[in-house]
Amino acid sequence: MDILFIIQQTLSATLGVNAIIFALAAIGLNMHFGYTGLLNFGQAGFLAIGAYSVAVPVISFGVPLWIAFLIGIFNSILFALLLGIPTLRLRADYLAIVTIAAAEIVRQIARSATFNEWLGGSDGITGKFGKDFFDLNPFKAGINTPILRFNGNDLWVVLTGWTLVALITSIMWIMVNSPWGRVMRAIREDEDAVRSLGKNVYLYKMQSLIIGGVIGSMGGFVYALSRQSVQPDNYGTALTFFAYTVLILGGAARVFAPIVGAMIFWFLIVFIEQVLRAGVTSNLIPDWLIGVNQVGQIRFMLMGLGLMLLMIFRPQGIFGDKKELTLDAKA
């Protein structure tokens, strides 16, 4: 068992691309769920729209990458409006069902053979659409130390990604501590009270949905760029659920929760997976119990179990305040 390798893999994942993607997705959800109380289960749809908006225009229409980012933001605003107009008047559990359905619609359309020509069907799109972005990379050699390893492209994504996360988190901090943010929290606690003060609750909820959605779609940008490919099936319901796990792990309605949550989430996942894998390959865990190909399945089982236990025993997460957020303001 190579302990140093496990440490290297685990730390690289803790600071890695996936942690950034989930941090961005969870920051968006924090806006929706943590601050406004909207139970959006369609966050994967926003990420998918972000990812496809980067890949499709560049590959199929030769649009410059920087314009494609703008297209992505525009599309996610459009999706938020489409989603919000019918659903924001509904009760929390209805909203959950409709948003999950909407995200599935996005995924199924993206993977259908009908739009194969533009969206690539179930194989998705692979190509060098991020060339403009990676050309700017000053650290093409990457980094390879005993405890941390990234190749050149990943290092560039990681550096710019965490910068983006830091930027968005500061903006979030300013927003939620403004009068606007207080209205949001008031909506989460008691919608009718806010309405009686003459505020347009519907409009505020829509703003929350759009802002959180745009942040989520930026997670999609990172997802697409880091892989240089977009696979429709990566944007299924599980992505949304794990983004919620990240958020709840950190503590909903805390500005830094998504970042901490994403780091801990990926630390645990990769650490457990690497230990299991090392155990299986070195025959410490017998083959009849867990095969090499089954390590990933065990990992997902633990993720599900972890989400359950977290929700039962510590719904406020690691940093959350139970008094500020009772998860049931809406039910």
Partner 1 sequence: MLFFIALVCATFTLAGTAANAAETPTKLYGVITGSTDQPLSGVRVSIVGPDGFTAEVKTDARGAWEIAIPIKGTFSATINEGDLPSGQALTDPLKGTVKANVFMLGVDLRLLFPIGPGVAKASLLERSAQLIVDGLILGLIIALAALGLNLIFGTTGLTNFSHGEILTFGGLLTYYFSAIAKFPVLIAAPLAVLLSAFISGFLQDRYLWKPLRKRGTGLIAMLVVSIGFAIFLRYLFLFLFGGDTRQLPQYAGQAGLELGLVSITPKSILTTAIGIIFITSATLWLLRTRMGKASRAVADNPALASASGIDVQKVIQAVWILGAALAGYAGVIVTVNQGVSFLMGQDMLLLIFAAVTLGGLGTANGALVGSLIIGLFVQLSTLFIPTELKYVGALIVLILILIVRPQGILGRKERIG
List the one residue from 234, 251, 258, 265 that touches partner 1 (CB under 8 A): 234
Which is nearest to 49 in space by CA: 84, 10, 76, 21? Answer: 76
Considering the complex, what minimum distance in angstroms separates the CB of residue 42 from partner 1? 11
Candidate list 29, 31, 100, 209; residue touching partner 1; CB under 8 A: 100
Reference 207, options 81, 43, 71; nearest CA is: 81
66 Cβ contact partners less than 8 Å away, ≥ 6 residues apart: 132
| Range 74-93, binding partner 1 (CB under 8 A) | 85-87, 89-93
CA distance 29 to 293: 32
- From CA 66, how far away is CA 51, in angstroms rounded? 13
Q: Which of 97, 166, 167, 171 binds partner 1 (CB under 8 A)?
A: 97
d(CA 211, CA 54): 19
244 binds partner 1 (CB under 8 A): yes
Number of residues that bind partner 1 (CB under 8 A): 67
Does residue number 215 form part of the binding site for partner 1 (CB under 8 A)?
A: no
Q: Is 146 in the site for partner 1 (CB under 8 A)?
A: no
Strands 149-150 and 143-144: antiparallel
**In b/e form, how buried is each residue of 197-232, taking b as 16+ CB within 10 angstroms?**
eeeebeebbbbbbbbbbbbbbbbbbbbbbbbbbbbb
Minimum gap (Å) between residue 102 Cβ and partner 1 = 7
Binding flag, residue 60, partner 1 (CB under 8 A)? no
Q: Which stretch binds partner 1 (CB under 8 A): 68-76, 132-140, 255-263, 292-300?
A: 292-300
With tokens 């020509």, the residue in question is 117
Site for partner 1 in 112-141 (CB under 8 A): 112-114, 121-123
* CA distances, 205 to each of 36, 208, 224 (Å): 7, 5, 28
Nearer to partner 1, 104 or 189 (CB): 104
31 binds partner 1 (CB under 8 A): no
Contact pick of 136, 138, 283, 328 for partner 1 (by CB under 8 A): 328
- What does the block give as tokens for 112? 């259908």
Query: Which residues in this chain contact partner 1 in the complex, by CB under 8 A?
Result: 9, 12-13, 18, 39, 85-87, 89-94, 96-98, 100-102, 104-105, 107-109, 112-114, 121-123, 231, 233-234, 236, 238, 241, 244-245, 248, 270, 273-274, 277, 294, 296-301, 303-312, 315, 326-328, 330-331
